[in-house]
Amino acid sequence: MGQMKNLALVIIAVIGVNFAYDEYMFRSSAHDVIVETFKTSAADACYDNARGQNIGGSHNSWRNPASLKLVIGKSNLDVYFWQIDSSMWNAKYRNPYIFIVADENPAFILCEYDILHRTASVHRM
């Protein structure tokens, strides 16, 4: 009886590891596809927004940024998880954004690109 219990535990552990690996590979691939799909659009929108605000940043510094990160949700919005009827709930918890940091000496320029609305917001750090 003890050997059957151990065998069942090993099988459950193998299934769990396989599921976790599959989930990791899916999320990693989805992340890469999303970033590659929208990286150029984000860089162009950030460049246009920065130029419109006279913040600066060459087109090359947006195309080859110091940092580029995909984020789900916008953490600085004042909406709580249980406020699902709020018009800002999706923006806070579901919508994808690309954050680009352009290295412009002597400072950095941060751009937040909203993938769904295809808008950029640029700020000097």
The predicted pLDDT at position 120 comes to: 86
**Would you write out the chain's pLDDT as a tens digit for each of its 125 residues?**
678 888 888 889 889 888 888 888 877 777 788 888 888 888 888 888 888 877 776 777 788 788 888 888 777 777 777 877 777 777 777 788 898 888 766 567 888 898 888 988 888 77
119 with 45: CB under 8 angstroms? yes
The predicted pLDDT at position 106 comes to: 58
pTM of this prediction exceeds 0.85:
no
51 with 122: CB under 8 angstroms? no
The predicted pLDDT at position 104 comes to: 65
Q: Where are the beta strands (DSSP E) in 1-125?
A: 67-72, 96-104, 107-114, 119-124
